[in-house]
Structure 1
Amino acid sequence: MEKFLQCPVLVRHFETDGDFGLPNVGYNDFHTVRPAHSFYMQKNYTWHFVLSGRGTLEIGDRRYHLAEGDMFFIPPDTRMRYYPADEEPWEYVWFTLRGEAVARYGALLGFSLQNAAKRCEAAAGAKRVLRELFEALLQDRCGYFGVLSAFYRLMEICSTGRRAEEIQSVKRMIDDSFSLPSFSIDQLCRNAGISHAQLLRRFKRAYGVTMIAYVLRKRIELACELLETTDLPIRSIAFSCGFADEIHFMKCFKRERGLTATAYRKSQQGRR
């Protein structure tokens, strides 16, 4: 297998300040580098990307078995250790991160103390960025801002899958709760941790329909089912589908189906 770099170790140091800094970036190939197996704590955050091979991260009360394309994020002052597999040692790239913004960036990528490792769904793109970065570092064509730029590109690449997962989760929440009296898009935003405008924009981009239209469609579909299969009063069906009042339900139903709920029920009676 072709090595990411021909040298087993490469480290660059930078002077940083502000609410976000990237004081170190490095590469390690554990076919050559001797690993440490002892638990320890570090004073800064680190983010690792596994380029090849396999290894293990132990942090808190959790253990992660990692492979090519996986990432792991370690906060400061946390007891942990990580080491390569004996039969297939890993090589990885790492960034040391410092400042108040780091925890927020980690959360945007989906990391937490309960979830310190995850898969990068766009690993090939991330590896291309890393290869370009380290080739530039080897040739002294890259300084601090080049490293910072590459890191932000990696964040964008590696958070793409995270954003897709978030929107899929939101859609599942809608499917599970659209008919409940307590359902609201504002509450959905709070549960998802995404702003109202951003959530609406991302949902439309992902599914080609506005969230409001999707919720209405789900409610009308349920109403049709209840009109076809039950003798419930229209008022009860409206409330069962998440509408706050019967009049609003009747207006929405006629607009969506082209006939009133009562007419729809009569049209379906012969099919029971």
Structure 2
Amino acid sequence: MSSHHHHVSFNPHPSKGELSVLFSGHAQTNPLHKVGPQVLDYYLVHYVVSGEGTFRCMGQDYHLERGGSFFIFPGELVSYESDELNPWSYRWVGFKGNRADEYLHMLGLSQHRPVNMTKQHRKLNALFHQLDHKLQARLPNSDLQSQGYLRLILAEYAQSHHETNVPKEEASGIQQQIEQAIRWLTLQHNQPISIEQMAQSLGYHRTHLSKMFKQHTGMSPMNFLLKIRMERARLLLQDTLTVEQVASSVGFGDALYFSKQFKKWFGRSPSEYRQDQTTNPYDCNE
């Protein structure tokens, strides 16, 4: 007998601005319940109430248990799956806003660091519950109230980030350099860029930045850039763009060289990958 159940509450009149809640919900999932791979055009945070499971983003797997949260960013290909023996129960909130990305980066969250662990389990669970309750009520001021609860939720994540990131001043400075470099590469991935340009733009010595980057990420800056480009190309190939247009969109002036790099990365040419997607479309349902 299926134990899966879930509930969703929608905001009938989401506002436009810094931060706005679109919907919220909660679910007790079945063993091995899987969502995706899928791409969203809004932000979505899941908070794990109990159980465990795996979240996959940018080719990385994250195992999350009670008290863990995973954040989905717009335009990123993600999937997540409940554990076979101890499946997830989680709450979620979908939101948008012209400062949402800025706020999440202030909390140390990005496509490359999309998870958070907190000790404030009961408090966060209560805030997610209260936000959901306000949307269920469908009152005229439910939009403002849900915004308020979302800000309180983000404040709890900010507190958690502060408590778990109190490194020495020197280490903090290096971490800041790496975060700046990752953000720069992510924003500039569609341009024909070099590590010299990045180092000059950020005001760091090239050799020092490359060494610190590899120590913290396990990859050289150029390999990291290639990873960003390949993941983005994989998303774009699900659209109607030509291979040449996809190559240009991720910073490759030569479509043939792009195709060789793509095949080296994924084991299939762009055309073969697109054909596979056509014959095996992904399921986006929760």
Equivalent residue, structure 2, for 1:130: 128
Aligned residues: 175
* Aligned CA distance change for structure 1 residues 8 and 108 (closer, same or farther; 3 Å): same
What one-letter code is carried by the residue in structure 2 that aligns with 1:22?
A: V
- Secondary structure at the counterpart of residue 8 of structure 1: strand
Deviation at residue 93 of structure 1 after TM alignment: 1.5
Q: What's the counterpart of residue 77 of structure 1?
A: 75
- On the 8 A contact 2:131/2:150 being kept in 1, the answer is no
Partner residue in 1 for 2:117: 119
1:58 aligns with 2:64: no
Deviation at 1:68, TM superposition (A): 1.0
Once the two structures are superposed, residues 113-166 of structure 1 have per-residue CA deviations (whole angstroms, 9 ceiling, x without a partner) of 221112023222111222333345445567111211111111112211212334
Partner SS for 1:105: helix
Give RMSD over aligned pairs: 3.3
Give the AA of the match of 2:164. E
Shift of 1:39: 1.1
- Provide the secondary structure at the position in 2 that maps to 1:40: strand
* Residues 122 and 158 in structure 1, CA contact (< 8 A), matched pair in contact too: no
CA distance in 1, matches of 2:175, 2:86: 43
Confirm whether residue 10 of structure 1 aligns to residue 21 of structure 2: no
Is the contact between residue 49 and residue 70 of structure 1 (CA under 8 Å) also seen in structure 2?
yes
Q: Which residue of 1 aligns with 2:100?
A: 102
1:46 counterpart = 2:44: yes
The secondary structure found in structure 2 opposite 1:114 is coil
Aligned-partner Cα distance in 2 for 1:117–1:13: 25
Gaps of 5+ in 1: 178-186, 194-272
Asked if 1:157 is matched to 2:156, the reply is: yes
Name the TM-score, length of structure 1 as normaliser. 0.55
Question: Which structure has the bigger radius of gyration?
Answer: 1
- Tell me the percent identity: 17
Report if aligned partners of 1:109, 1:162 keep a CA contact under 8 Å in 2. yes
Paired residue secondary structure (1:146): helix
Q: Could you list the per-position Cα deviations for residues 197-255 of structure 1 after superposition, in whole angstroms to 9, with x for gaps in the alignment? A: xxxxxxxxxxxxxxxxxxxxxxxxxxxxxxxxxxxxxxxxxxxxxxxxxxxxxxxxxxx
1:89 aligns with 2:87: yes
Q: CA deviation at 1:192?
A: 10
Q: Secondary structure at the match of 1:113?
A: coil
- Between 1 and 2, higher relative CO (CA 8 Å, sep ≥ 6) is seen in 2
Contact map agreement 2:46 2:70 (CA 8 A) in 1: yes
Q: Which amino acid aligns with 2:147?
A: L
TM-score calculated relative to the size of structure 2: 0.53
Q: How far apart are the structure 1 equivalents of 2:52 and 2:138?
A: 30
AA at the equivalent of 1:173? E
User: What is the SS of the residue equivalent to 2:38?
Assistant: coil
